[in-house]
Amino acid sequence: MARAVSTRRKIGFTALAWAVGLLIFFPILWTVLTSFKTEADAVAIPPKFLFTPTLDNYATVQSRSNYGLHFMNSVILSLGSTLLALVIAIPAAWAMAFQPGRRTKDLLMWMLSTKMMPAVGVLVPIYLIFRDFGLLDTRLGLMIVLTLINLPIVIWMLFTYFREIPGEILEAARMDGASLWREIVHVLAPMAVPGIASTMLLNIILAWNEAFWTLNLTTSKAAPLTAFIASYSSPEGLFYAKLSAASTLAIAPILVLGWFSQKQLVRGLTFGAVK
């Protein structure tokens, strides 16, 4: 009897969960569908769920913009800035987690507060600095900026993760006379890997989607997909299908990455929220 009730409950919850899930996902689904329509079908009333798919929009987008270049830039920028941020952040988070001082918490909050600065307010100064150092429209320049704006989040996320690693293990390893290097490589690294992996994933997502600096500090050579999509915003005439195709192209890579790695992402994405 109890089993039957729980199965019925399960079905009920399943229906509800699927309905909500599909509702949330719907705008993305609709965009992907629209990208395969003709412009006329895209604005048809009532909306068409069944239609003859076409690849024309993708061809148009490809002939208008160099998707490959923008895609490569997005990959290089998000990967590069993430690696750079990790290299700088791991030691810092490590030290803060295992050797916390009285000011550690304030320091962390200060770091986070640097992220609250509105970027628009400092665009002109940064533009001038970039001009003087010849960094405008270079991947290096953008990589540095992306690293800096995401560094606080990276440090914080790593910090919360590292803190959950019990200090006793360290002590034990030290007792055994392990060198600092051995301690890190053999004892701590394996425990830290999941946290680092999910930090890395989150940071890649944030860097991929950053749309202010990437648009304002690049023109063509270093421009990532955020700049690519900007050229499809509000053009002349009917453009829903082309916009959808460009949007799909811009979000597909990161969406696929996110889905495949969601387990890893979730594991470390707790920010110390879960004991």
Partner 1 sequence: MNRSTCGLALAGALAALAGSVSAETITVATVNNGDMIRMQGLMAEFNQAHPDITVEWVTLEENVLRQRVTTDIATGGGQYDVLTIGNYEVPIWGAQGWLLGLDDMGEDYDAADLLPAVADTLTVDGTLYAAPFYGEAAMVMYRTDLAEAAGVTISEAPTWAEIADAAEKMTDKDAEIYGICLRGKAGWGENMAFLTAMSHSMGGRSFDTEWVPQYDSPEWVETLTLYLDLMSNYGPPGASSNGFNESLALFQSGKCGMWIDATVAASFVTNPDDSSVADHVGFAKFPHKDGVDNTGNWLWSWNLAIPASSTKAEAAKTFVEWATSKEYLALVAEKEGIANVPPGTRTSLYENPEYLEDAPFAAMTLEAMTAADTQNPSVQEVPYTGGQWISIPEFQAIGTAVGQQFSAAVAGSASLDQAIASAQQLAKREMTRAGYPK
Partner 2 sequence: MATKASRATARLMVSPSVILLLLWMIVPLGMTIWFSLLRYNLLMPGTESFAGLENYRYFFSDPAFWPAIANTLTLVLGVLAITVGGGILLAILLDQPIFGQGIVRILVIAPFFVMPTVSALVWKNMMMNPVNGLFGWLARTFGMQPIDFFGQMPLFSIIVIVSWEWLPFATLILLTAMQSLDSEQLEAAEMDGARPLARFRHIVLPHLARAITVVILIETIFLLSIFAEILVTTNGGPGTATTNLPFLVYAQSLLQFDVGLGSAGGIFAVILANIVAIFLLRMIGKNIDA
Answer whether 93's CB lies under 8 Å from 140's CB. no
Q: If binding is defined by CB under 8 A, does position 25 make contact with partner 2?
A: yes
Give yes or no for a cis peptide into 46 (omega within 30° of 0).
Answer: yes
In the list partner 1, partner 2, none, the entry touching 121 (Cβ below 5 to 8 angstroms by class) is partner 2
How far from 221 is each of 13, 74, 225, CA to CA, in Å? 50, 12, 12
Identify whether the C-beta of residue 31 lies closer than 8 Å to the C-beta of residue 242: no
- The answer to whether residue 185 forms part of the interface with partner 2 (CB under 8 A) is no
DSSP per-residue string spanning 68-135: HHHHHHHHHHHHHHHHHHHHHHHHHHHHHHHS--TTHHHHHHHHHHGGGS-GGGGHHHHHHHHHHTT-
Q: Is the Cβ of residue 219 or residue 262 nearer to partner 1 in the bound state?
A: 219
**Partner whose binding site includes residue 40, from partner 1, partner 2, none (CB under 5 to 8 Å by kind):** partner 1
Judged by CB under 8 A, how many residues of this single chain contact partner 2?
A: 97
84 contacts which partner out of partner 1, partner 2, none, CB within 5 to 8 A by kind?
partner 1
Half-sphere exposure of 142 (CA within 13 A, CB side): 31
Q: Are 204 and 154 in contact, with CB atoms under 8 Å apart?
A: no
Figure out which of the listed residues 99, 177, 236, 237 binds partner 2, where binding follows CB under 8 A: 99
40 touching partner 1, by CB under 8 A: yes
- Helices 189-209 and 240-260: crossing angle in degrees, nearest 10, is 170
- Choices 12-20, 25-33, 120-128, 153-161; region in contact with partner 1 by CB under 8 A: 120-128
Contacts with partner 1, 121-160, as mask; x by CB under 8 A = --xx--xx-xx----xxxxx--xx----------------
Q: Mask of contacts with partner 2, 69-88, x by CB under 8 A?
A: -------------------x
Q: Which is nearer to partner 2, 123 or 191 (CB)?
A: 123
Per-residue exposure over 240-250, b if at least 16 CB sit within 10 Å of its own CB, e if not: bbbbbbbbbbb
**113 in contact with partner 2 (CB under 8 A):** yes
- Contact between 235 and partner 1 per CB under 8 A: yes
Please list every residue from 208 through 227 that binds partner 1, using CB under 8 A. 215-216, 219-223
- Residues near partner 1 (CB under 8 A) are 39-40, 43, 45, 63-65, 76, 80, 83-84, 87-88, 91, 123-124, 127-128, 130-131, 136-140, 143-144, 215-216, 219-223, 230-239
